[in-house]
């Protein structure tokens, strides 16, 4: 289930020759064509919109596949069905935002060889708390909004990514990308927040997706690299805290998607319920905090030992869950009827055993203190028609399968 997508990259927004970040070898200046796999895109949307450190039911874990599958038209290029486009403006805005994340991030997973992708807000809160900094750029909207995502690649370079989506046409899409000047606007203002040390600086991207209703213009993904100004700087000796935030953020998402909600919070927020929680200042408050963390550790161990709600998946090498979703109504995909979505998600059993032994790691989550980090690696998304698979090293695997009621 692939759809054509035009990708337009403006190389002129990158620094000059020899100045980092260099224009990526896997990027093509101008317009190129990309085969967008819809199951893979929906999988990425579900992954990216899964909360990092909160507990409780999250509709984003499954709703993208149920809701958006019927929104894709059968045209050869990516476009929306007319019935979906007739929904109210608020619902269309949510779709634009979600597609505006899922499409470019699916493209970037491969083009930049990413290993960890973490929410920008979580990353900023966690690293600021780790280095004792006061971080002001944690707004959810406006110029001080943190970037959507921070990502590390296989070479150890860090990328800062802001994503936009619209159904309002190319002029509005270009406006969303933003502009420099006395007053920064759009994505330029929102992805300028973080600056990494020389040798570890990757791309600073703003991505804008423009998608239309069937019968209209073809979908376009635009990518630029504007220069950041007045960023939050991470020193070379602070990169260990960036590594810690990335490892925790990715592992927490994996655990949540596999159904281990308590353990996910334990990994993401070792000192309390929030990512930026720290040890309490008073002895009494610290004693209460430690008791709460001990109780949470016990709930985590109980959760990890529960093999009824978290059975073995993927030939027994992982544990998590398999969910079969009956679509509200059947849809036709490439001339085949689809009535069910099967979702399998699991975390490596060795990683779960290590977490059961030590759920909370208050020190840096590195290979010595958190052995499960050794299983983390490059994120790979593969697709084959009606099936898509996502792997994060050896630590996590997710699969989505579209099928008729009888398979």
Domain residue spans in the chain?
A: 2-243, 285-403
| Banded model confidence at residue 143, pLDDT cuts 50, 70, 90 | very low
User: What integer is the mean pLDDT of 303-319?
Assistant: 96
- Please state, in angstroms and rounded to a whole number, the distance separating the CA atoms of residues 339 and 274: 39
- Separation in Å, CA 369 to CA 49, 117, 154, 318, 374: 28, 21, 22, 22, 11
Identify the weakest region by mean pLDDT among 29-38, 68-77, 328-337, 372-381: 328-337
| Banded model confidence at residue 95, pLDDT cuts 50, 70, 90 | confident
Q: What percent of the chain has pLDDT over 70?
A: 84
pLDDT given for residue 393 in this prediction: 96
| E strand or H helix at 291 | helix 283-305
Question: What does pTM read for this prediction?
Answer: 0.87
pLDDT higher than 50, residue 187: no
In our burial notation (b when 16+ CB lie closer than 10 A, e otherwise), range 322-353 reads eeebebeeebebeeeebebbbbbbbbbebbbe
Of 38, 33, 41, 89, the C-alpha closest to 220 is: 33
- Separation in Å, CA 402 to CA 319, 341, 389: 22, 5, 12
CB of 388 closer than 8 Å to CB of 44: no
pLDDT given for residue 376 in this prediction: 95
- Separation in Å, CA 204 to CA 18, 33, 233, 265, 321: 16, 22, 14, 29, 36
pLDDT higher than 90, residue 103: yes
Identify the weakest region by mean pLDDT among 135-149, 265-279, 306-320: 135-149
pLDDT given for residue 176 in this prediction: 53
* Helix boundaries (H) for 1-143: 38-48, 63-68, 82-85, 89-111, 120-131
pLDDT given for residue 325 in this prediction: 85
Q: Exposed, middle or buried: residue 267 (CB in 10 Å: 0-12, 13-18, 19+)?
A: buried
pLDDT higher than 80, residue 181: no
- Separation in Å, CA 121 to CA 101, 118, 127, 249, 390: 15, 9, 10, 11, 23
Tens of pLDDT, residue by residue over 27-73, are 999 999 999 999 999 999 989 988 876 555 554 556 666 678 888 88
pLDDT given for residue 196 in this prediction: 87
- Please state, in angstroms and rounded to a whole number, the distance separating the CA atoms of residues 313 and 37: 24
Of 126, 156, 151, 152, the C-alpha closest to 138 is: 126
| Banded model confidence at residue 175, pLDDT cuts 50, 70, 90 | low
Q: Exposed, middle or buried: residue 10 (CB in 10 Å: 0-12, 13-18, 19+)?
A: middle
pLDDT higher than 60, residue 229: no
Q: How does the average pLDDT of the chain come out, rounded?
A: 84
Q: What percent of the chain has pLDDT over 90?
A: 51
Looking up tokens 């698979």 gives 389
pLDDT given for residue 89 in this prediction: 75
pLDDT given for residue 183 in this prediction: 38
pLDDT higher than 70, residue 230: no
* Helix boundaries (H) for 306-370: 349-357
pLDDT higher than 50, residue 156: yes
């Amino acid at each position: 289930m692939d759809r054509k997508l035009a990708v337009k990259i403006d190389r002129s927004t990158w620094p000059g020759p020899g100045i980092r970040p260099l224009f990526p070898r896997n990027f093509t200046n101008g317009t190129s064509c990309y085969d967008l796999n819809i199951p893979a895109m929906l999988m990425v949307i579900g992954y990216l919109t899964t909360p990092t450190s909160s507990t409780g039911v999250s509709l984003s874990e499954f709703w993208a596949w149920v809701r958006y599958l019927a929104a894709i038209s059968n045209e050869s290029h990516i476009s929306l069905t007319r019935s979906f486009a007739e929904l109210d403006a608020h619902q269309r805005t949510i779709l634009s935002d979600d597609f505006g994340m899922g499409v470019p991030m699916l493209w970037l997973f491969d083009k930049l060889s990413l290993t960890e992708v973490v929410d920008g807000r979580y990353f900023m809160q966690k690293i600021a708390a780790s280095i004792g900094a006061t971080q002001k750029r944690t707004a959810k909207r406006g110029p001080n909004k943190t970037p959507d995502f921070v990502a590390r690649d296989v070479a150890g370079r860090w990328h800062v990514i802001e994503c936009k989506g619209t159904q309002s046409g190319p002029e509005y899409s270009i406006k969303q990308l933003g502009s420099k000047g006395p007053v920064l606007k759009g994505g330029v203002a929102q992805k300028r927040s973080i600056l990494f040390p020389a040798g570890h600086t990757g791309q600073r991207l703003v991505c804008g997706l423009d998608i239309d209703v069937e019968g209209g213009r073809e979908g376009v993904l635009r990518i630029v690299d504007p220069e950041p100004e007045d960023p939050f700087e991470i020193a070379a000796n602070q990169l260990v805290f960036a590594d810690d935030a990335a490892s925790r953020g990715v592992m927490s998402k994996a655990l949540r998607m596999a159904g281990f909600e308590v353990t996910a919070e334990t990994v993401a927020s070792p000192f309390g319920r929030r990512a930026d929680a720290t040890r309490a200042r008073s002895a009494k408050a610290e004693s209460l905090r430690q008791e709460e963390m001990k109780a949470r550790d016990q709930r985590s161990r109980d959760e990890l030992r529960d093999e009824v709600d978290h059975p073995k998946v993927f030939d027994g090498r992982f544990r998590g869950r398999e969910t079969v979703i009956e679509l509200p109504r059947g849809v036709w995909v490439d001339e085949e009827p689809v009535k069910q979505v099967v979702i399998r998600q699991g975390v490596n059993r060795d990683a779960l055993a290590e977490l059961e032994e030590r759920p909370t790691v208050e020190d840096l989550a590195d290979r010595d203190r958190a052995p499960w980090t050794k299983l983390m690696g490059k994120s790979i998304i593969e697709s084959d028609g009606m099936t898509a698979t996502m792997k994060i090293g050896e630590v996590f695997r997710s699969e989505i399968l579209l099928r008729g009621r009888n398979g």
